Chains A and B, each alone.
Chain A
Amino acid sequence: MAADENNLADRSGRLFESQKGYDPRVVLFYFIIATLLIVLTSGLAYQQLFNSELHTERESSQNQRRILIPGPRGNIYDRHGQLLVGNRPRFAVVLYLDELRAKFRAEFIRIRKNYRAAEDKDIPTADQLWTLARVSVVQSYLEQINAIIGRDLKVDSVRLNKHFSRELLLPYPLVEDLAPAEYARLLEHLPVVSPLQLYTTNTREYPFGSAASQTLGYVGINEDVEAENFPGEKLRTFKQRGSIGRDGLEFKFDAILQGEAGGSIFRVDPLGYRLRDAKPIESRLPTQGQNLVTSLDIDLQLAAEQAIGDQAGSAVAIDVRTGEVLTLANKPDYDLSKFTPRLSPEDAADIVARGAWTNNAIAGAYPPGSTFKILTSIAALRSGLVEANKPITECAGYIQIGNRTFVCDNGRGHHGEVLLPDAIAKSCDIYYYTAGRLMTPEVLAAEGRRFHLHQRTGIELPHETGRMVIPDPAYKEKEIGERWFPGDTANMSIGQGYVLVTPLEMACFAASVARNEVFTKPTLLHNPDAPTQRTESIGLTLAQRTALIDGMVGCTTYGTASKIMNLLPIPGVTIAGKTGTAQKRVKQGDKVVTINIAWFICFAPADKPEIAMAVAVEGDTGGESLEGGRVAAPIANAVLRKYFEKKNRPADQKLAPFKIE
């Protein structure tokens, strides 16, 4: 045995004997290996030094996830600080699915084991087993909630699967819109540390229901929330649904009202589950959007809407000095509270059926009727063809123009020889047919354009119509393809024919006349320090302006609007106004019928104007008689009454001017 060992020891020297000399074939391998090592090192260096950003990015996108949470929208206030649109918290109980990986797996194994034990041949596929496991686990958590708040809720497996596959890192809502008592019970019964958590989202709240609904607008779901200056744009991102303005001020000022989204970036495992107890790499709280202070006065708005009632109509009130819109009422309207959390198809169909989507105060183009006589008066006076203190015709109830006979629709008799103030007060058509005949249509149209009645006002609302028309022969030739007749001038001079304006335009027109200027730029934004608007003067002499205003005051004291204004006088306030009744042909079913539009424009007090208004009420039945003095003037009266009632309140009951810093 020992001899063998010695032999081995003797042989060992030979066994490890090195090769002497170099074999050229081995040297070749040295070069090959060295070259490969150089290539490898260079490649490694290249990847480390030049491609490091790419790899960091890939690593981040693989094991990091980004969650974005939208910020609540800003509030909308009226000019006195009354909340018109706010945010209502919605309490929910949610389940963080990404914390349940172990439970899902355990349940998966349990279910599979049960199937195998039962020797069921129709054992579900792995995907189906996973779905069953997830539903089972989530239902067990839901049972805890059911026991606490006394409900009997079941898991919606389709919704759960969708959430699991697309929004794993977002909390899965088990119960939404908890009642305060349910929320309180859950607060005390749920463990503080648990995958089940109480969660708050928010939704729009409208304290005044349908008030100013079309002006305020509504919001829709925003699936694509963005977070400016929040890192990780290239990471896989889970976004909670936010809201986006779809109409009205919500749409126009969406960028201001929109809150700043917050978010978090988490590390996840290869399956996308959040790492246990992992703190976010980045985190930012969502921030509420900026508030918006509108020029609206909710008390006047409510007064206008209540006065319009079930009729289809619009009422616009404007601060004469600044052009701030105090009221922009339109009926029919819709209840904004039905838009949260989302509008049901039934409610949407109802809005369509009632024609309530359109804000006719800005989108409805109507012939202005006799309210246009104020413009005709101004044009006639400025042209020098009509003098305020000289009659231009004698109203015999009708007049022949060309081969057509035009009648005086107002007064049910003959106005006789009237002067301009009386013609305005009593709305004598014959006087204005004559005045129109004395002028050219171009002069009248030019005056209309001077008051910007041919174009949009530019108010901060979407969908303001561009269908307003101040016609002239060129317009008729171009649009209708016919030449202009003297009868067209007659029609135009009383606000009929091709003339089309919006209620907002007429309110601006009334405010302009009140300021003795030609243009009022309306705005829905309140600025307590807003300067008085200054534009071009109308250009009437003092006597001419006095006659014009006297005529408008006469309208409310002894003229066409006197009945309602005398019945419900506003103490200490003289109103300058003008009524109008226009006809419009509309299609109702298969028939084309003529409906009336009752108008009233005004400003008050007549001697020192503060508020200007336009009211238009649309008839719904062909041939129905709607008079401006009977139908539209009472609406203006209600708003003016509220305005002066608020103004004359004792100082200690008034609200201070509202301003958000």
Chain B
Amino acid sequence: MPKRFDQARPFLTLGFVVAAWLVIPTVFKTFTRASFFELTAPVGVAASYARDLQEYWTLRLHSNSELIEAGRDLARLNASYDLAVQQNIEMQGEIARLEGILRLPSYAGYRSEHARVVRRDFSGWWQRLTIRKGKNYNLTVGAPVVFSGGVVGRVSEIFAYTATVDLISSQTVRLAAVVEGDTRPISYQGGLNPTFGSAGGVIEFVPLDIFASANATKRLVTSGLGGVFPPGLTIGSVIKVEPSTDGLFKSGVVKLDDRLAALTEVTVLLPLDTP
């Protein structure tokens, strides 16, 4: 009998742990889970800093001539950006004036918070990023995240020094989009994306008079109507639309920016009324 008991001990222990896990309060479980992330986060953050250091030393290997050349190009780029910024300020003033005349509500303003990417998870289960900013920068759940190519996704979880961003390729992200040049909102949602394949999404409730194909793509942008994302940010390219059987709408496929898989820096947009 004692020998049998010894053999069964691991199973009994496992059973006991499972039973204990089932009966312990949810608060404890949540705390444990959060603690796990908080405890493991420094490892990811440290790795990310190591990568940054690696990149730094890689850049140090460039010759002075290359650096001077890059500096010159950067100065030119900055000059063109300065011009664009001035134009933007003028256009914003004009938009504000027109909104005032037409008594239109203004879109919400945002504060930008740039963050380095610590880790990228691309799989059939997850399509998300971990970024190197969290509660310490007052990030909020649901905040939109963008990069130079358009929409990245939305913040889904916030930790002390890190945050998780659900990518727009994730099935859990849905937003109100418009086809560029159109004003009717359509539903965009991340698709079923393979681990190593190119990311995509699906659009639904597309008006029947919108056409797109792989040879004649249409740019899909945020509508600004949803109240989360500002308008006009690129989501991707509509590469296919086809009528649904009910004849009311079309549905389609959106190809997302390939750079989503190699992001190193993103910007979290925080509504200005957020503390």
Q: Which A positions have Cβ atoms within 8 angstroms of B?
A: 71-72, 74-75, 87, 89, 180-181, 183-185, 187-190, 192-193, 198, 200, 202, 259, 262, 285-288
- Number of CB contacts from chain A to chain B under 8 A: 73
Most A Cβ at <10 Å: residue of B174, B176, B228, B247: B247
Q: Which of B21-44 contact A (CB under 8 A)?
A: none
Contact of A198 among B175, B187, B227, B228 (CB under 8 A): B187
Please state if A192 and B226 are interface contacts (CB–CB under 8 Å): no
> Judging by beta carbons under 8 Å apart, are B226 and A72 in contact?
no
> CB-CB < 8 A to A183: which residues of B?
176, 185
A279 CB, nearest partner CB in chain B, Å = 16
User: B218-231 CB contact bits vs A (8 Å, 1 = yes)?
Assistant: 00000101111100
15 contacts between A and B (CB under 8 A): A72-B247, A74-B247, A75-B247, A89-B249, A180-B185, A180-B225, A184-B225, A187-B174, A192-B172, A192-B174, A193-B172, A200-B249, A259-B247, A285-B246, A288-B248
With A192-B171, A200-B205 given, is the CB distance from A185 to B245 under 8 Å?
no
CB A545 to nearest CB in B, in angstroms, measures 50
B176 to chain A: which residues have CB within 8 Å? 183-185, 187-188
Q: Is the CB of A189 within 8 A of B226?
A: yes
B245 touching A184 by the CB < 8 A rule? no
Bound complex: CA A125 to CA B225 (Å): 46
Nearest B residue to A287 via CB reads B245
Which of B172, B228, B248 touches A72 (beta carbons < 8 Å)?
B248
- B97 within 8 A of partner (CB): no
Distance (whole angstroms) from the CB of A67 to the closest CB of chain B: 15
For B164, what are the chain A residues with a Cβ–Cβ distance below 8 Å?
Answer: none
Find chain B residues with CB under 8 A from A192 CB: 171-174, 189
Q: Across the interface, do B172 and A200 meet the contact criterion of CB distance under 8 Å?
A: no
**Interface secondary structure of A, over-half rule:** mixed
Q: A89 contacts B205, CB within 8 Å?
A: yes
Q: How far is the CA of A193 from the CA of B189 in the complex (A)?
A: 12
The answer to whether A89 touches B175 (Cβ under 8 A) is: no
List A contacts of B184 (CB < 8 A).
180
Q: How many residues of B contact A (CB 8 A)?
A: 23
Q: Complex Cα distance A259/B248, Å?
A: 12
What does the 1/0 interface line of B48-66 toward A look like (CB < 8 Å)?
Answer: 0000000000000000000
With A184-B223, A188-B175, A200-B205 as given contacts, are A286 and B185 in contact (CB-CB < 8 Å)? no
B246 adjacent to A188 (CB under 8 Å)? no
Pick the contact of A185 from B172, B189, B226 — CB < 8 Å? B226
Contact partners of A190 in chain B: CB under 8 A: 174
- B249 CB, nearest partner CB in chain A, Å: 7
Q: A184-B185, A187-B176 are in contact. Are A287 and B246 (CB under 8 A)?
A: yes
Bound form: Cα–Cα A89–B176 in Å: 17
Instruction: State A10–B226 Cα separation when bound (angstroms).
Output: 92
Bound: A181/B225 CA distance, A: 6
Which residues of the partner chain A approach B227 to less than 8 Å between Cβ atoms?
184-185, 188-189
Extra 5 A-B pairs, beta carbons < 8 Å, given A184-B185, A200-B205, A287-B245: A187-B185, A187-B187, A189-B226, A200-B248, A288-B245
A87-B248 in contact given A188-B227, A192-B172 (Cβ < 8 Å): yes
Set of chain B residues within 8 Å of A288, measured between Cβ atoms: 245-248
| In the complex with contacts A87-B248, A286-B245, A288-B247, A188-B171 CB distance below 8 A | no
- Please give, as numbers and ranges, the residues of chain B lying within 8 Å of A187 by CB-CB distance: 174-176, 185, 187, 226
Cα distance A200–B244 in the bound complex, in angstroms:
13
Q: Is the CB of A188 within 8 A of B248?
A: no
Residue of A nearest to B249 (CB): A89
Bound together, the chains give a CA A317 to CA B93 distance in angstroms of 57
